[in-house]
Amino acid sequence: MLPTAKMAEEKIIDDVIEVEDTGYVETYIRFNDDLEKDYCFQVKTSDSFKDLFKIFKTLPIALRPNLFYNSLPLGFYVSTAPGYLTEDGGLLFSYETSEERFRRKVGNSDKLFKLHRAPVQAAVTKEQLLDIGWTGTRRACPDEYKDFYRDYKIKEHGGMIPAHQAGVFDKLKNLGVFLGLGEGFNTPLDNKSTIKDLLSEENEKFTLNYQYFAQLGEFFQNYTNEHESNLIEAIKQFRRYGILHSNDTIAKIVKNRKSRGDSRV
C-alpha cells in the first residue's frame, strides 16, 4: 500500500472515531408502520432512544394510527431487515423492514448509535424543529428510487439518446440488489469486516462497517463540493435516495455484490 493511501485510510478511521464520540448521526423513524413514512432525523451520537419522545411532543402532526392509540409510544423497535443496496452504494429499506421476525426491542435508555435505525399543539418554531433533529426528508423505497434514478440519469446525460449511448438503460435492467441475512442492516454488531473485505471478489456478503460509511461520506462531500451548485438540494437527495454517484472503490464493492444476485429473506 502506498503511504498516501495508507494516510488517507487512517484519516477516514480517525474521522469516524471522532464522529462516533462527539458528532451527529441521521436515523430514520417509521411512523404508523407505513413504508411511506420513514422520516429522517439528525440526532446526537450520545442520544438514547428515550430522547426520541420529544419528537412526538413537538411535531404538530398526527403520529399515531388513530385516536384509540396513545399520542406517545411506549418504546421503540429497531429493524434488522437487510435492505436494498443501490447502484451507487447507498442502502435503502427493503419491503420486509417492519416484519416481526426482523424487529428487535430496545430499551429506552439504550444508545442510538449502533448502526441501526428506529422504526396536536401550538405552532412549532424553527428552533424546536432543529432541536428534535427534524430534516423534513422521507426515505424512498426501492421502487421510488428506481423511478427517480431513471429520470435523474436521463436529465444528467441531456436526454434519452445520450443516456442510451451511455448505457443507462442497460443498467436500469438490473439496478441495485436486494441483500440477504447477515449483510446490510442485518450485519452482526460484532462484525469486523473492512473495506478490503468488501473489495474481495471472494466476499459473499455486503457487511456494513465504519470504513465503508466513511468512504461514502468522504466521496459525497468531495463530489458535491466539485459538482453541485445547490448543496441543500443535494443533501435532500442523499437523505431520500442515498448517494447517486460513486468512485471506483464503491463501484467495485457494488459490482461484487450484484454479481451474486438478489437474496431472499
* Average of per-residue pLDDT values in the chain: 82
pLDDT at 166 over 90: yes
115 vs 263, residue with greater confidence = 263
pLDDT for 40 equals 87
From the number of C-beta atoms within 10 Å of its C-beta (0-12, 13-18, 19+), residue 8 rates as: exposed
% the chain with pLDDT above 70: 77
pLDDT for 65 equals 61
Q: What is the mean pLDDT of residues 39-59?
A: 81
Distance (Å, rounded) from C-alpha 229 to C-alpha 245? 16
Report whether CATH 3.40.50 matches the domain 23-81+94-138.
no
Query: Nearest CA to 51 among 24, 18, 21, 80?
Result: 24
- Amino acid identity at 105: K
Distances (CA, A) of 245 to 106, 146, 224, 241: 34, 14, 10, 11
21 vs 80, residue with greater confidence = 80
Q: What is the mean pLDDT of residues 155-176?
A: 96
Domain ranges of the chain: 23-81+94-138, 142-258
Band of residue 69 on the pLDDT scale cut at 50, 70, 90: low
Q: What is the mean pLDDT of residues 109-125?
A: 52
pLDDT for 62 equals 60
Q: What is the mean pLDDT of residues 155-184?
A: 96
26 vs 194, residue with greater confidence = 194
Distance (Å, rounded) from C-alpha 63 to C-alpha 61? 6
pLDDT for 15 equals 45
Question: Which is it for strands 103-106 and 76-79: parallel, antiparallel or unpaired?
Answer: antiparallel
Q: Are 255 and 88 in contact (CB under 8 A)?
A: no
What is the 3 state secondary structure string of the chain? CCHHHHHHHHHHHHHHHHHHHHCEEEEEEECCCCCCCEEEEEEECCCEHHHHHHHHHHCCCCCCCCCCCCCCCCCEEEECCCCEECCCCCEECCCCCCCHHHEEEECCCCECCCCCCCCCCCCCCHHHHHHCCEEEEECCCHHHHHHHHHHHHHHHHCCHHHHHHCCHHHHHCCCCEECCCCCECCCCCCCCCCHHHHHCCCCCCCECCHHHHHHHHHHHHHHHHHHCCCHHHHHHHHHHHCCCCCCHHHHHHHHHHHCCCCCCC
This prediction has a pTM of 0.81
% the chain with pLDDT above 90: 50
